[in-house]
Amino acid sequence: MKTDLPTKKGDKWREILLIFAIFALNISSQKNKGTKMNRREFIISSLMTLGGTTLLSACKEEKQVRVKKGEDKMKVLMVNGSSHEEGCTYTALSEIAKVLKEEGIESEIIQLGPNAYRDCVGCGGCRKLGHCVFTDDIVNELVEKAKSADGFIFGTPVYYAHPSGRLLSVLNRAFYSGGAAFAYKPGAAIASARRAGTIASIDVINKYFTINNMPVISSTYWNEVHGNTPAEVKQDIEGLQTMRNLGKNMAWALKLIEEGKKLGIQTPEPEKGARTNFIR
């Protein structure tokens, strides 16, 4: 998040007062010790104290800079599961992106386009390699980008009342090979349909979040828009409102997580080990 830290006017005045206090203390301490300093010694002594104060103040500034660096603009990674790069799903994702921008949060839409994507073949190769064995598409790049992203929105057109096969193939491989890149970061699913199947589609996508320690972001209605063309989606006033509210809620969650980190609230350490497959 690139929220510039507010410069507190009070801080400057406190520093000026501190410097005066140091001069005064310097005089009184010398008086108390009964030591007599000539003007030159007094100036050197005061300057040394002042140097120390400046150093302290610089350290404080440095601390703020570090916090700022840690706050490099937050980013939401979106995936458009449609073959239409500027279709209905894109129209909905763009509405969310506008709100995120207003909230100071970057976003990027990864387009899956009309390409073919292999589904996960369960070979387990990613366990050894650390990435999916298929290297000829966007999946490994998506995982790489996910590592530095702060939140995710996966959008899909509805096909026969479920998400697009291409989105599921990509997410199956991305989460199986690189789920840790997404964990503990908020996620939201959105769906675009001419008429029906959005709820089932959203539900399927939410499953990636809920098995991977990811907070699910909601809105004022289920995250859906309706239309067969972008022009029709633009007429879905409530759908777009739902998208904007989703954007606000995503921004809110991201900011809370970021502020929490500054307070020392880290992601929980999950209990591990139990793996029951119901065979007794």
Ligand X SMILES: Cc1cc2nc3c(=O)[nH]c(=O)nc-3n(C[C@H](O)[C@H](O)[C@H](O)COP(=O)(O)O)c2cc1C
Which spans of this chain sit near ligand X (rule: CB under 6 A)? 82, 84, 87-89, 157-161, 192-197, 227-228
- Of 185 and 226, nearer to ligand X (C-beta) is 226
| Inter-residue contact 113 to 84 (CB < 8 Å) | no
Q: Which residue is nearest to ligand X (CB)?
A: 87
Tell me how far, at minimum, the Cβ of 186 lies from ligand X, in Å.
Answer: 23
Alpha carbons 228 and 164: distance in angstroms, whole number? 15
Please count the other Cβ atoms lying within 10 Å of the Cβ belonging to residue 28. Answer: 10
Residue 105 phi, psi (nearest 5):
-115, 130
Alpha carbons 198 and 195: distance in angstroms, whole number? 8
Tell me how far, at minimum, the Cβ of 95 lies from ligand X, in Å.
Answer: 13
- Of 147 and 195, nearer to ligand X (C-beta) is 195
| Cα Rg of the chain (Å, integer) | 27
- Of 233 and 253, nearer to ligand X (C-beta) is 233
- Of 37 and 161, nearer to ligand X (C-beta) is 161
For residue 226, the surrounding DSSP H or E stretch is: strand 224-226
- Of 180 and 231, nearer to ligand X (C-beta) is 231
Tell me how far, at minimum, the Cβ of 100 lies from ligand X, in Å.
Answer: 19
Best CA proximity match to 217, nearest among 209, 226, 229, 225: 209
Tell me how far, at minimum, the Cβ of 190 lies from ligand X, in Å.
Answer: 10
Tell me how far, at minimum, the Cβ of 201 lies from ligand X, in Å.
Answer: 9
